[in-house]
Chains A and B, each alone.
Chain A
Amino acid sequence: QKEVEQDPGPLSVPEGAIVSLNCTYSNSAFQYFMWYRQYSRKGPELLMYTYSSGNKEDGRFTAQVDKSSKYISLFIRDSQPSDSATYLCAMSGSRDYNKLIFGAGTRLAVHP
């Protein structure tokens, strides 16, 4: 079993839809949770960062962490074609906080 599970998709939605992206994990020591966006042939770009449980909102993006369920989510409101990319979740523990464990990434396509 992988430490971080993420459905690779692809996920196809119409413009304006609310998108929900999710990851589950098995290591209860994870404390730091991140979402990266990766456009084709580009490096990952840090989108959201959350420590421990709770919600964090930034514009159209909301990150949620539920440590009791070992489940994290990224919501994208009013999705745009420019949101079409691969979204990677990543996490780390407090001991080795710089060692990020990544999910496989979910490919998202937002069509006009």
Chain B
Amino acid sequence: SAVISQKPSRDICQRGTSLTIQCQVDSQVTMMFWYRQQPGQSLTLIATANQGSEATYESGFVIDKFPISRPNLTFSTLTVSNMSPEDSSIYLCSVGQGSSTEAFFGQGTRLTVV
């Protein structure tokens, strides 16, 4: 499986600011995804990061709030914009290969908005 590194691992941010989370994979991968894991809840898919084109967002998530970049097959960023305390969560990067449904996760970014 791929080795996935996320930065930062945790952060405390002021409301109204933005935070960009980086996801680096040690090998080229077809699929990259961003999930959110709110306290005591299951993982929810935010969007699929598409290399060279706009991300595909799930219902309830919009580009203005969660802009995503994917400049190549090993790197993606997720920005959480204009943060509020409701954005306090763990944000996880996930990767998959081709037709395989097996998805692998980074260690997550624990975000607290105050």
Contacts and interface: CB of A to CB of B under 8 A. Distances in A.
Q: How large is the interface on A (under 10, 10 to 19, 20 to 34, 35 or more residues)?
A: 20 to 34
Nearest to B6: A43
Interface residues of B, number: 26
A32 B101 contact: yes
Interface stretch (B63-71, B72-80, B81-89, B102-110): B102-110
Given A43-B6, A97-B99, A102-B43, 6 more contacts: A6-B42, A41-B107, A42-B108, A43-B108, A44-B92, A46-B103
Q: Give the one of B41, B101, B102, B108 with max A CB within 10 A.
A: B101
Contacts, number: 60
A92 to B, nearest CB: 6
Interface string A80-100: 000000001010100001111
B28 interface: no
B43 A49 contact: no
Contacts of A45: 105
Given A32-B101, A98-B33, A98-B48, A46 B42 contact: no
Interface string B31-52: 1010000001111110010000
7 contacts: A4-B42, A6-B42, A43-B107, A49-B101, A92-B101, A98-B48, A100-B43
